[in-house]
Structure 1
Amino acid sequence: MAQHVRDLMTRNPVALTPDTPVREAARAMRDQGIGDVLVVEGDRVRGIVTDRDIVVRGLADRDDLSGCRLADVCSDRLVTATPDEDVDVAVTRMREHAVRRIAVVEGGRPVGVLSLGDAAVEKDSLSGLADISAARDNN
């Protein structure tokens, strides 16, 4: 039986506006034990920012992050899935676009995030990625 994205996704994603300071997003990631936040305008998803985006697009290019906003580091290639989509189809899309996390949207509105780790824990619980994804946060 096919498994749906809604069965594996993290619900109630942290969603912030493009003008949110990067530091605020980093704090949200730390406090929630997550590696991404969705970037939304109104009730529509505009993009996703990961902890890696903050380092590679933020810290690597700036000496001072005080003026850096999520719009400055947001991934411009948004890959999405729907809650009722087959997990294998969503994972294939992640592979095709070389992304580790995708926004889950329903009617354009964010309802969750699906990560490769989420899929690994469910699909191959004995894999190294599943072990790492299921481990407690180290912060």
Structure 2
Amino acid sequence: MTQRVRDIMTASPVTVGPLASVTSVARMMRDQNVGAVLVTEEGHLRGLVSDRDLVVRALADGADPDETTVTSACSDDLVTVSPDENLDLAITLMREHAVRRIPVVDHGHPVGIVSLGDLAIERDPESALGEISAATPNT
């Protein structure tokens, strides 16, 4: 049976507007226990920001996290998939573009996100990444 992206995606991704501060996004990531947040504007996907993006693109340069918007730290050249795409396409895109997460978009609106951890849990649950991804977070 062919698996679709919708079968393993994390639905209802955490989203934030482009003017949100780096501090508020970091707190949101902590409180929601996520490593990436989708940046949206008027319901449409504008970018993706990971915890690593916040550190490397904002904090490491000495920017004031309360005054710096998430737009300056997010990736905006995104690879996306639809929820009805074959899961193998998502895997291929992750490999080709060397990304760990792919937003799932339906008619321009973000509806989910697929991560490397999601794929590991689904395809190789006994692997180290699969076990780590499935473990209860130690927040």
Place the TM-score, normalised by the shorter chain, in its bin. Answer: over 0.9
- The TM-score with structure 2 as length reference comes to 0.96
Q: 1:76: Cα distance to partner? A: 2.4
The reply on whether 1:42 has 2:30 as its aligned counterpart is no
Alignment of 1:81-100 (within 5 A): 81-100=81-100
Q: Secondary structure at the match of 1:122?
A: helix
| CA offset digits 1:81-114 (Å, max 9, x no partner) | 1000111111110111111001100000010010
Deviates more, 1:55-64 or 1:45-54: 55-64
Supply the distance in 2 between the matched residues of 1:50 and 1:71 (Cα, whole angstroms): 12
The reply on whether 1:6 has 2:6 as its aligned counterpart is yes
| Residue of structure 2 equivalent to 1:109 | 109
Q: Secondary structure at the match of 2:2?
A: coil
Question: RMSD in angstroms over aligned alpha carbons?
Answer: 0.9
Q: 1:59: Cα distance to partner? A: 0.9
| Residue of structure 2 equivalent to 1:67 | 67
The reply on whether 1:128 has 2:135 as its aligned counterpart is no
Give the letter aligned to residue 61 of structure 1.
Answer: D
Give the letter aligned to residue 136 of structure 1.
Answer: T
Tell me the number of residue pairs that the alignment of Structure 1 and Structure 2 aligns.
139
| CA offset digits 1:28-86 (Å, max 9, x no partner) | 11111110100011111011000010011011111522211110101122111100011
- Where structure 2 has 5 or more consecutive residues not aligned to the other structure, the ranges are none
| Residue of structure 2 equivalent to 1:137 | 137
Supply the distance in 1 between the matched residues of 2:91 and 2:26 (Cα, whole angstroms): 26
Q: Secondary structure at the match of 2:114?
A: strand
| Residue of structure 1 equivalent to 2:21 | 21
- Residues 39 and 138 of structure 1: CA distance in aligned 2, closer, same or farther (over 3 Å): same
| Residue of structure 1 equivalent to 2:33 | 33
Give the letter aligned to residue 6 of structure 2.
Answer: R
Runs of 4+ in 1 over 3 A off after TM superposition: none
- The TM-score with structure 1 as length reference comes to 0.96
The percentage of counterpart residues that share the same residue type is 55
Supply the distance in 2 between the matched residues of 1:16 and 1:94 (Cα, whole angstroms): 23
